[in-house]
Amino acid sequence: MQLELEHVSSGYGRSPVLHDVSLHVGEGEIVALIGANGAGKSTLLNTVMGLVATSAGSIRFDGRAIGQLPTPAIVRAGIAQVPERRQLFGSMSVEENLLMGAYTSADRHSVATALEEQFARFPILRERRRQLARTLSGGEQQMVAIARATMSRPRLLLLDEPSLGLAPIIVAQIMRQIVALRSARGTVLIVEQNAHAALAIADRGYVLENGRIALEGAANELLVNPAVQEAYLGGQGGHYAIEGRIRSRKLAILGR
C-alpha cells in the first residue's frame, strides 16, 4: 500500500471532524473520496498533508509513519496537494505559478524539463504562459493548479474538488487529464462532491458521511448504489432519524 490511514481522528481545535477513518490507496490507483459538503473530505486531505493534526490513529506513506511530520517533510516524501478553489498566485503569470511548484528544487535543468512536460500535457498553458493566472477561465486555472502540484513530480497526488464551479464539459476534460496523470506513473486520491465524475475515472471509492467512512467499494459498484444518493440528499434510515425528529418537533411547535 502506498498510503494507509488506520483509525484516524482529527479536527480543528475543539471541533473534531474525522472519526476513526481507515482507508488505503495502492500504487498506481485512482481512489475517489466522495461525500456531501461538510462531510470532512478536505479535512482528510489536510490531515494527510500534516496541515491538520491527528488526535488518534496512524498515517503511513510507503510504509513510513508520516502522521507527525511537518508539511514540508511530507511534501519532500513525495505527496502533493491541489487545494480546493485552486489557490493560485493570481498576480503571477502561468509560468511563474508553475515554477513555484518546483520551489524546492535547485536543479535548473530538471525544472526546465518539468516545465516542458507540463506544457506538453496542457498545451493551452504554453499559449498562456505569460498571462496572469487570475485572468484565466476556471478550467484553465484548474489545469495550472494541477500542473503546479505535479512540477515536483510527486508520487501521490491529492486533488481537492477539481470540478468545483466548472461547467460539466470542462469537468469531463479535467477528469481525462487526471486519468492521463496516472498513465504517467502517478497515484491519485481525488476528493469530490461530484460523485459521478470522480467515480467514473476511479478504481475504488469511499463515501464519507459526517466524518466517518459510510461505504467503500469498487467505483463501478458505488456508481449504481442507491445508498450513495442517500448520503447526499438525505433519507429516512440510520442517522437520518434526526430528520424525522426535526419534522415532528416542527409540527408540534408550528403546527405545520
Cα–Cα distances in angstroms (integers) from residue 195 to residues 25, 107, 133, 217, in the given order: 18, 40, 28, 13
Tell me whether residue 105 or residue 210 sits nearer to other proteins (CB atom).
210
Q: How far apart are CA 145 and CA 98, in angstroms?
A: 8
Tell me whether residue 3 or residue 174 sits nearer to other proteins (CB atom).
174
Least separation, in Å, of the C-beta of 169 and other proteins?
9
Please tell me whether residue 234 binds other proteins under the rule CB under 8 A: yes
- Asked whether the CA dihedral 44, 137, 188, 232 is positive or negative, the reply is positive
Please tell me whether residue 224 binds other proteins under the rule CB under 8 A: yes
Sheet of 204-209, strand order: 79-82, 156-160, 187-192, 30-34, 204-209, 212-218
Tell me whether residue 84 or residue 216 sits nearer to other proteins (CB atom).
84
Virtual torsion, Cα 6, 12, 16, 17, nearest 10 deg: -70
- Comparing C-alpha atoms, which of 17, 39, 31, 33 is closest to residue 231? 39
Q: Which of 9, 177, 210, 216 binds other proteins (CB under 8 A)?
A: 210
Please tell me whether residue 220 binds other proteins under the rule CB under 8 A: no
Under a CB-based contact definition with an 8 Å cutoff, are residues 77 and 32 in contact? no
Tell me whether residue 101 or residue 139 sits nearer to other proteins (CB atom).
139
Tell me whether residue 13 or residue 63 sits nearer to other proteins (CB atom).
13
Using DSSP's 3-state secondary structure scheme, residue 12 falls into: strand
Please tell me whether residue 37 binds other proteins under the rule CB under 8 A: yes
Least separation, in Å, of the C-beta of 151 and other proteins?
26
> How many CA atoms, within 13 angstroms, populate the side-chain half-sphere of residue 187?
17
Q: Which of 110, 168, 176, 218 binds other proteins (CB under 8 A)?
A: 168
Footprint of other proteins (CB under 8 A):
13-15, 36-38, 134-135, 137-138, 161, 163-165, 167-168, 171, 193-198, 200, 210, 223-226, 228-229, 232-234, 239-240, 242-247, 249-250, 253-254, 256
